[in-house]
Structure 1
Amino acid sequence: MYKFDIDSFRRNFLTQHDRPDLPFGQERPPVFTSAAAAQDKVNASRIWRRWGDTFIAWQYGEWVDEASAVHRTAFLGDWSAISKVILRGKDATRFLMHIGVADLTRFPVGRLRHFVMTDASGKVATEGVLGRIAEDEYYYTAGGGEWIVYQAAQGDWDVSAQLVTPDWFIYELQGPGSLDILERAMGTRLRELEFNHWCAGRIAGADVRILRTGISGELGYEIHGSTLHGADVWETILEAGLPAGMEPLGMRCQVLSHIEAGIATAGFDYMPASIGGPGGSNISVSGGGQRILGTYRFNGVEDLFRSPFELNWCSPKVVARCDFIGAEALRAELDAGGPARRLVGLVWDTRDVMDVYASLFEDGEIAPQMDMPRRYAAEYLAVHADGALAGCATSRVYSPKLRRMISLAAIDREAAAPGTDVEVLWGTSPDNQRIVRASTIELPFKPDNRRTDVKAL
């Protein structure tokens, strides 16, 4: 059993989160995930990278193996850096229906759902997973929990919204072998747990929540628990999974399966409309922090905001019958014929991609290189159709499963039909860019297996 000083961890985490002005490494010590002691044993790269306020392992072994495990067996990844919020109070449901694009009148205890929140202009402010813990208690995890806390303070609500990010770990166990591995780690059966449901359990003697959800597009689970037991729970799952071929997943390949599943990620594929405001994201578009790269020219960060309709996250029926922040703007979007842009997939031309790498070994200027499997940064690339700007491509990534370079793209609906030929302007410097041909595809890139009937397995 690992020893873990949760009070020191919480104190250092809050310093990292609340005081970015302090000198890093001196008055603002680095914060490693609560499972770092267990992860270090198998982290052959010895590389750790910061995600938000927490350092996570970058790569455990061969990245192709890590990227392929979700299709072959399973991966075990650490998502503990994302925000976690607990909401309590008799107005909790009414409050959530005020800020979220959702009807929660039939959302019982034990259920989960994707929960999208918009600002007054109908653009996505933040989104994540919402779970109902009790009649008047909810648990929310996402990249931007501050938005909920801020909104809870704006009205006369009988509700408390508390950020508990440093107190909970979140591990993703995703892939066709995830159920067998999790049952082995827990010593119990989970065949009755349906998609978008959660249950209580125990791993390594610690209380945990098991959520049947995930954004890999495959059968998968999330394991949530106290950071006090983070290393013990991680190691127990790892020991249960390694004999079955499971791979620990580092940050290098972390969002690859999101793209294969056709799911947009805040900061990478769109910018949250809460950015820079009260209760907003700390993503930056210039200077320190995350910067936006690529060939897509935008007038302001508002050009990178998206409505939930554009991201395939919204039901017109919910918008029609529910009142929430941004509802009027979304109704106007529907009345105008729907979103002007659509989120689609792009399959990049293999020969054009190979020419980029071939320039390393040929005479002439070396083309801007494509990090493998992707560049871990916000990268927005101009997309043209019939010679005119049609939108932007994001999250360019190599998929070992598809053996292709792929990306998401938010493009004009006139150019979004499957099979449309487009051109992506690749590069960063205006003096060194390449045109890469691509064709559109309806998302996801592969079948959605999240709802697999595990009772029959």
Structure 2
Amino acid sequence: MSIEKRYEDVLKIFERPDLEPKISDYLPFYHENILYTTVLKNFLYPYEFTGWKDEQLSWKKTCYIHGGLNPSPLYRFSGKEAEKFLSKYCVNTFSKFPVYSGKHCITCDEEGYITSDGVILKTAEDEFETYWMWSLVIAMKNEEGNYDLEFKDLTNDKFLFQVGGPNSFKVLNSVTDDGLEDVKFMRFINTRIDGKEVRIVRLGMAGSLAYEVHGNISDAKSIYDTIYKAGIEYGIRRLGWHTYMMQHTENGFPQFGDHFMMKLPGSPSNKGNVVGSIGKEATGYANPVELGWKKTIKFDHDFIGRKALEKLVENQTRDMVSLEWNTEGILDVYASRFIEGETYKDFDEVNDMIYKGIGTVLHQDKVVNAQGDLIGVSSGRVYTYYYKKMISLCSLDLEYCQPGTEVIIIWGEPNMIQKKIRATVSRFPYYDENRNQSFDVAIK
């Protein structure tokens, strides 16, 4: 069976053309010519709805709804020592963390390498819910009986939808029982949609105004459909997995699997799973300082990896920047297909997020200076249709981080002909319009 299946093929797979195939417990199955993928899911999942160009414009011009993060690893920690446990492993501070607020959460190992990053919400006094924080589950098993707290895995009980773009407020405000005017960035409220309990958090990965909608899995399909139908007059698009994976590079927010790999405790080395000019010896592991997350680290408490991170902060050598690739170099790569001689590695896709094939492979390229010295690592390459540019994120030596600085990206695997493509350090984040942190829903 091929990786991608269109509607007619889906019917054949289930061998019941008289019945609607059950794609997942989270998303409605729309009877259209949708491109599906099986990658990273145990079910067929929408890869593209209206095409990546159309969908990519949604978070700048209109809005989108995305359900591709289902099921999201969701874990609840509650009890009088829940905060004490989380503080031991998270680099974040808990000193100013009111109920109904959230944080970008990071855990590291003793060497300072990231073991997980995700979101943590404070849902009540002494109660926290974490998303995508696998390392905390491993820690919980290792710490069994050491803390007075309760742990609950809610992964398969809840859904998570993302609704983003400048019109996202109007769409959600039209279907919720309570207005969203007072919900600030990284804050949330509990409300209802169609009489069903939901939580709406103001956060998103596109950089523009965005929200997440959380609720019970039994309500997932009806709520998705309600939001989508309400958004039609506002130009809503359904976001497929393909387009969603382009958000993080524009937004300047590194993503696991696209820009770095996590070093989960007890897992085998990731060496050999990285492609690109960086070479097979690379693991893709990273520390939060070189990813641009230094401000998230707070040394007001003891936590795993603190000593290593103190040294990394004090002696910082790299930071995260946006790279804008030179158009001529890109055209040279395409032109090599039609010229006698060796062909450069193709830009097979508009991005390097390798989720179409089976498994997850990180793509990273060497970044060098004019003398050929290694000065950084580029990842998350994406063609942004809105800006008509090829961009990537780069963990770059500090002396080259000034906007306007020219660097060179080595394109192509180590065992093939390689192309030196000039690139320029650009604004960070690259998408800098109507940012979620400052978007005033009252005047837009």
Same fold at TM > 0.5: yes
Q: Which residue of 2 aligns with 1:56?
A: 45
Q: Percent sequence identity over matched residues? A: 27
* Residue ranges of structure 2 left out of the alignment (5+ in a row): 1-13, 15-20, 355-361
Distance in 2 (alpha carbons) for counterparts of 1:341 and 1:31: 47
Matched, 1:435 2:420: yes
Question: Partner of 2:364 in structure 1?
Answer: 380
In the alignment, residue 275 of structure 2 is paired with which amino acid?
Answer: L
C-alpha distance in 2 between matches for 1:237 and 1:316: 33
Using the alignment, how far apart are the partners of 2:61 and 2:29 within structure 1? 22
Aligned residue in 2 for 1:308: 288
Distance in structure 2 (CA, Å) of the matches to 1:40 and 1:316? 40
1:164 to 142, 146, 154: 154
Aligned counterpart, 1:204: 194
Where structure 1 has 5 or more consecutive residues not aligned to the other structure, the ranges are 1-24
CA distance in 1 between partners of 2:312 and 2:325 (Å) = 31
d(CA) in 1 for partners of 2:406, 2:384: 20
Q: Which among 373, 377, 398 is matched to residue 413 of structure 1?
A: 398
Give the deviation of 1:53 after TM superposition: 5.0
Aligned to 1:367: 344
Q: Please state how far the C-alpha of 1:445 moved relative to its aligned partner.
A: 0.6
Report the alpha carbon displacement of residue 103 of structure 1 after superposing the two structures with TM.
1.4
- Aligned-residue CA RMSD in angstroms? 2.3
Q: CA deviation at 1:131?
A: 0.4
Residue type of the alignment partner of 1:134:
A
Question: 1:50 Cα shift?
Answer: 2.0
The reply on whether 1:400 has 2:385 as its aligned counterpart is: yes
Of 110, 113, 122, which residue of structure 2 is paired with 1:123? 113
The match for 1:98 is: 88
| CA shift for structure 1 position 371 | 3.1
Measured in 2, the distance between the counterparts of 1:284 and 1:167 equals 31
Q: Which moved more, 1:386-395 or 1:427-436?
A: 427-436
Partner secondary structure for residue 171 of structure 2: helix
Bigger CA drift: 46-55 or 254-263? 46-55
Per the TM alignment, residue 298 of structure 1 is displaced from its structure 2 partner at its CA by: 5.5
Deviations 1:319-352 (A, max 9, x none): 2x221111111112233x22x2221111000111
Match of 1:331 in 2: 310
Distance 2:296 2:382 in 1: 31
Of the three residues 214, 223, 234, the one matched with 1:244 is: 234
Counterpart position of 1:76? 65
Per the TM alignment, residue 244 of structure 1 is displaced from its structure 2 partner at its CA by: 1.5
Which amino acid counterpart does residue 399 of structure 1 have in structure 2? T
- In 2: Cα distance, 1:141 partner to 1:166 partner: 12
Q: Aligned partners of 1:418, 1:247: CA distance in 2, in Å?
A: 33
Read off the aligned partner of 1:401 and give its amino acid letter.
Y
CA distance 1:371–1:431, shift in 2 (3 Å): closer
1:195 shift after superposition? 1.0
Instruction: Give the whole-Å Cα distance in 2 for the aligned partners of 1:413 and 1:244.
Output: 43
**Matched position secondary structure for 2:346:** coil
2:158 corresponds to 1:181: no
Indicate if the aligned counterparts of 2:112 and 2:306 stay in contact, CA closer than 8 A.
yes
Q: Is the partner of 1:161 in helix, strand or coil?
A: strand
Tell me, in whole angstroms, the C-alpha distance in 2 between the residues paired with 1:429 and 1:122.
28
Q: Check whether the contact 1:344–1:441 (CA below 8 A) recurs between aligned residues.
A: yes
Structure 1 residues 39 and 373: CA distance shift in structure 2, 3 A: farther
1:152 to 140, 146, 150: 140
Q: What residue in structure 2 maps to residue 109 of structure 1?
A: 99
1:251-277 C-alpha deviation (Å, 9 max, x unpaired): 111121211110000122111122xx3
Q: Distance in 2 between matches of 1:102 and 1:94?
A: 12
Superposed displacement of residue 39, structure 1: 4.0
State how 1:21-60 maps to structure 2 within 5 Å: 32-36=23-27, 38-42=28-32, 44-51=33-40, 53=42, 55-60=44-49
Amino acid at match of 2:330: V
The 1:381–1:317 alpha-carbon spacing in structure 2 relative to 1, beyond 3 Å, is: closer
How far 1:77 moved relative to its partner? 0.9
**Alpha-carbon distance change, 117 to 253 in structure 1, aligned in 2, over 3 angstroms:** same
Q: Secondary structure at the match of 2:308?
A: helix
Shift of 1:82: 3.0
- Give, as a single letter, the amino acid of the residue that structure 1 aligns with 2:64: F
Going by fraction, where is helix more abundant, 1 or 2? 1
Look up the SS of the partner of 2:30 in the other structure: helix
Contact 1:174 1:219 in 2 (8 A): yes
Letter of the aligned partner of 1:391 in structure 2?
G
Residue 440 (structure 2) aligns with: 453
> CA shift at 1:196, angstroms?
0.7
- Contact 1:152–1:160 (Cα < 8 Å) also in 2: no
1: CA distance between counterparts of 2:392 and 2:431?
13
Counterpart AA for 1:85: Y
Distance change in 2, residues 1:190/1:316 (3 Å): closer
* Letter of the 2:134 counterpart: E
Distance 2:296 2:71 in 1: 33
1:326 & 1:391 partners in 2: Cα distance?
Answer: 23
Tell me the residue number matched to 1:17.
none
Query: Would you say 1:390 and 2:390 are equivalent positions?
Result: no
Q: Offset of 1:105 from its aligned partner? A: 2.1
**Partner of residue 276 from structure 2, selected from 294, 298, 318:** 294
Which amino acid is the alignment partner of residue 305 of structure 2? G
CA-to-aligned-CA distance 1:151-187 (integer Å, 9 cap, x gap): 1233311123333222221111010000001112325
Count of residue correspondences: 412
CA distance in 1, matches of 2:367, 2:417: 17
Q: Which moved more, 1:174-183 or 1:222-231?
A: 222-231
Contact in 2 for aligned 1:89/1:160 (Cα 8 Å): yes
Partner amino acid, structure 2, of 1:315: K
